[in-house]
Structure formats: structure tokens, C-alpha cells
């Protein structure tokens, strides 16, 4: 096996480790560690897709968390407001489809006196258990959230076409904040800061290989998120090896030169927004169903900064490095929470851990601009290049 295959082998070992871990780990903090890993996978999807957008294509967007919000709120609103009923409520907006009715529940906001008084609940009270309504499937909500992320990615991609560098960053930051503010303001529909509750990924439990999991078990969402991460990484790997990867990197380096060489820069700039936005939206929708509630705070700029920092520390020009960086940092930030005493002083690590994180980010940017993990991968892939160049020059006709 050559040195160049080491990263692939390490990748397979990592995948095997994460696939086996839930079955061999049995300490008391099992649910907590599993939760950390699920969250780590979520951030790994965001960091790796942002790495494709910013590191490969050079589109420094700060709207990535906005797309997770679009995915999460699309599935939340879809499942919260749309039902199928065999009977007409005669209270809600409803459409007959065959012998069923598609019910649109009216938005009533978060006033305590009206919280349980939407049109469907009133109808259910009237029916007194004689009619069973069906909620929309979670997976359809997640799929819709992913598609909606892609549609918004297309719109933002088209809008930012003439923008570069700081202007692009500020535009996307503005988009994300407008989205957050709109969701906060539209109390009647989104319930504002109170958030919308969502059913769990497996609301009715799951039976697999003779073992039954209830809706709060960590194992099913762990593998769902892990599978989504692997799918996203697989797509990113395929894209990076294809002409798409080559063109978006050319776009990053010099958009005008790429266009002069026949690259349709508009198409690839928009495409990279669509693809990475869909990944963020899928992760956001999945995470919202795992947590069980979505609030506008999930879209805060602090969250976006965390994703950026994870990608930068891992290595923004390598999506695998960004994903690994995200998982490591998610764990490190959590494990650093334990406060300790030094003599009479109590070091409150809930605060100081963020200082350590900030220092790590600054040191990385100053001394290793392509992160900590990415140079290690580069060492195996490109460590031989300098020697080869010298050897070819010695044997060739080059000046």
C-alpha cells in the first residue's frame, strides 16, 4: 500500500469506528455521548458543505445556517399545519382528494387562550374520537425541507452572482438575519421564539432486527444522521473529483480567467449554492426532528460562526478535514465544560472553554491557514510531489 492510500484507509477506519461505537460503548453517559455524536455529525454536514461552498468555490457565504433554518421550518410548518382526514372539518381550509380531505390548519399563534383552539382541534373535539386524522410523514417533511433549501439556494445563488468577497459575505449575513427576524416576527404562523414542536424522527418507535426502539432512543437518529453525513461526504467527494470540483476551484481562483477558458461560471456558482444549501437544509430538517423543537435562535449568527470556525480549524479547502474538525470541536467544546478549582479560584469552564476555542481559531488562522487536519491529509497526497519534480527535472529537458 502506498503512502497516498493512507488517508483513504484512515477514512475507512473512522467509518468503521463510528459504525461500531454505539454497540460497544456502554458507560453510564451513553445517551449524552450519543447526543454529542449526533450533534457532531450535524455540524460535520454543515462544515463540510460550507467547505465546498467557501473553501472550494470561494463563495464566503454566511447564510449557511439560514438554509438549515429553511429546512427545519419547512418540515415543521408542513407537519404542523397539514393533515389528511377522511371527513371534512367544515372549519379549516380543506380540499377533497379522492375520498380524503387535505386539511390546512389555521394559524392561531401562541396566545395561551387559543393554543389548543385551532380549527382541527375544534373538529376533533366535535368528532370525539370517531374520526382519525393522519399527520404528514416526517420523511416527506424532510424531503420538502431539502427541496426548499435548494430553491432558496438557487435564488440566493442568482442574487449574489455579481458579488464577491466581503460583499457576498455581508449579503448572505443579511439574508440569514432577515430570515431569523421574519420567523421571530411571524408569531401567528411560526410561534416566534416559543418555537414549533416537531414529531421525532421515529415518533411511533422502530423495530429493527427484533429490537424495539422508542422515539427517544439515540441509536436510530445516530445512524440516520451518520448515514446523511456519509451521503453528503460521498456526494462532495464525487463532485470534487468531477469537472464540477475543478470548475468551482477555478471559479475561486479567478472567475474571469475561468470564463475566458470556456467555463460557464454562472452555472457553477449557482449550482454550488443549490447543492450545499440542500445539504444544510436536509441536516437542519433532520436535526429539528431529532431535537423535537425548532426556534429562530438556531439561526443565530453565533451558530454560523461556530460552523465557520469548525471548517477553518479542520481545513476549509478540504471537506473531509472540515467534517472531522467539526466532530472534534463539538466534542472538545463539550468536554471542556467541566469547571475546576485552582487553590481558592474556581475556573468556570462554561465560559473559558469559548476563550480557548477562540485562541485555537486565531492560532490556526495565523500559523496554518488551511487548518490543522487538512495539511495532514495533504502530506500523504502531496508529500511526494517535490521529490518527483526534482527527479523529472533532472531527467528531462526542462530548463
Partner 1 sequence: MTNLVVKDLNKRFGGLHVLKGVSFEVDGPELIGLIGPNGAGKTTLTNILDGAIKPNSGTVYLNGHRTDQLQPYEVARAGLGRTFQVTRSFRRMTVLENMFVPALALDRGHNRAEINQKALEVLEFLTIDHLRNEYAQALSGGQQKLLELGRLLMLDPEIVILDEPFAGVHPRLMEVIYRYIERVNGAGKAIILISHQMDSIFTLCRRLLVLNYGDLIADGVPDDVKRDPAVIEAYLGAEEGEPDAGQEGRVQP
140, 301, 347, 385: which one binds partner 1 (CB under 8 A): 385
| Nearest distance from C-beta of residue 382 to partner 1, angstroms | 8
Q: Residue 274 CB, nearest distance to partner 1 (Å)?
A: 19
- What are the residues whose beta carbons fall under 8 Å from the beta carbon of 383, sequence distance 6 or more? 3
CB of residue 365 vs partner 1: minimum separation in angstroms?
17
Residue 398 Cβ vs partner 1, minimum distance, rounded to whole Å: 5
Q: Distance between CA 239 and CA 157 in Å, rounded?
A: 18
CB 318 within 8 A of CB 376: no
What's the per-residue H, E or C state across 261-274? CCCCHHHHHHHHHH
* Cα gap 160→156, rounded to integer Å: 6
Pick the closer one to partner 1 by CB: 302 or 394: 394
Q: How many residues bind partner 1 (CB under 8 A)?
A: 30
Figure out which of the listed residues 34, 120, 250, 287 binds partner 1, where binding follows CB under 8 A: 250
Confirm or reject binding of residue 266 to partner 1 (CB under 8 A): yes
175 lies in the binding site for partner 1 (CB under 8 A): no
Shortest distance (Å) from residue 253 CB to partner 1: 4
Count CA within 13 A, CB hemisphere, residue 71: 31
- Residues within window 308-327 making contact with partner 1, judged by CB under 8 A: 317
Least distance (Å) between residue 397 CB and partner 1: 7
- Residue 5 sits in the site that holds partner 1 (CB under 8 A): no
Contact status: 51 vs partner 1 (CB under 8 A): no
The whole-angstrom separation of Cα 334 and Cα 349 is: 10
Residue from the set 246, 336, 360, 361 that interacts with partner 1 by CB under 8 A:
246
Selected from 261, 346, 359, 365, the binder of partner 1 by CB under 8 A is 261
Give the length of the chain.
399
Cα–Cα distance for residue pair 373/90, rounded to 1 Å: 60
Q: Which residues contact 396 (CB under 8 A, 6 or more apart)?
A: none
| 177 contacts: CB under 8 Å, gap ≥ 6 | 301
Specify the pairing of strand 100-104 against strand 345-347: unpaired
Give the residues lining the site for partner 1 (CB under 8 A): 243, 246-247, 249-250, 252-254, 256-266, 317, 382, 385, 388-389, 392-393, 396-399
Amino acid at each position: 500500500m502506498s503512502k497516498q492510500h493512507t488517508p483513504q484507509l484512515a477514512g475507512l477506519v473512522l467509518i468503521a469506528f463510528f459504525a461500531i461505537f454505539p454497540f460497544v460503548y456502554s458507560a453510564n453517559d451513553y445517551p449524552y455521548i450519543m447526543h454529542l455524536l449526533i450533534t457532531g455529525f450535524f455540524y460535520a454536514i454543515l462544515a463540510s458543505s460550507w467547505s465546498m461552498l467557501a473553501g472550494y468555490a470561494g463563495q464566503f457565504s454566511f447564510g449557511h445556517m439560514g438554509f438549515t433554518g429553511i429546512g427545519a421550518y419547512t418540515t415543521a410548518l408542513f407537519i404542523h399545519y397539514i393533515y389528511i382526514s377522511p371527513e371534512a372539518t367544515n372549519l379549516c381550509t380543506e380540499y377533497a382528494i379522492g375520498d380524503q380531505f387535505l386539511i390546512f390548519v389555521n394559524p392561531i399563534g401562541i396566545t395561551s387562550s387559543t393554543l389548543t383552539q385551532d380549527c382541527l382541534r375544534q373538529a376533533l373535539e366535535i368528532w370525539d374520537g370517531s374520526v382519525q386524522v393522519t399527520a404528514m410523514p416526517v420523511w416527506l417533511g424532510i424531503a420538502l425541507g431539502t427541496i426548499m433549501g435548494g430553491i432558496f439556494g438557487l435564488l440566493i445563488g442568482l442574487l449574489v452572482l455579481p458579488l464577491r468577497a466581503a460583499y457576498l459575505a455581508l449579503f448572505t449575513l443579511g439574508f440569514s438575519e432577515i430570515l431569523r427576524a421574519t420567523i421571530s416576527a411571524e408569531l401567528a404562523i411560526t410561534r416566534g421564539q416559543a418555537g414549533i414542536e416537531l414529531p421525532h424522527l421515529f415518533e411511533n418507535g422502530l423495530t429493527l432486527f427484533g429490537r424495539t426502539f422508542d422515539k427517544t432512543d439515540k441509536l436510530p437518529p445516530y445512524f440516520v444522521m451518520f448515514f446523511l453525513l456519509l451521503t453528503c461526504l460521498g456526494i462532495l467527494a464525487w463532485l470534487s473529483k468531477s469537472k464540477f470540483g475543478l470548475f468551482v476551484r477555478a471559479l475561486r481562483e479567478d472567475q474571469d480567467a475561468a470564463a475566458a477558458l470556456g467555463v460557464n461560471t454562472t452555472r457553477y456558482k449557482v449550482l454550488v449554492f443549490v447543492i450545499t444549501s440542500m445539504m444544510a437544509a436536509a441536516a437542519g430538517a433532520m436535526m429539528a426532528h431529532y431535537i423535537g423543537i425548532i426556534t429562530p435562535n438556531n439561526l443565530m449568527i453565533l451558530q454560523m460562526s461556530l460552523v465557520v470556525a469548525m471548517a477553518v480549524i479542520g481545513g476549509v479547502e478540504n471537506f473531509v478535514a472540515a467534517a472531522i474538525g467539526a466532530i472534534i470541536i463539538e466534542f472538545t467544546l463539550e468536554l471542556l465544560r467541566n469547571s475546576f478549582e485552582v487553590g481558592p479560584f474556581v475556573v468556570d469552564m462554561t465560559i473559558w472553554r469559548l476563550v480557548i476555542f477562540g485562541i485555537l481559531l486565531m492560532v490556526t488562522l495565523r500559523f496554518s491557514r488551511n487548518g490543522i487536519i487538512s495539511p495532514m491529509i495533504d502530506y500523504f497526497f502531496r508529500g511526494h510531489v517535490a521529490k518527483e519534480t526534482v527527479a523529472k527535472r533532472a531527467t528531462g529537458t526542462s530548463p
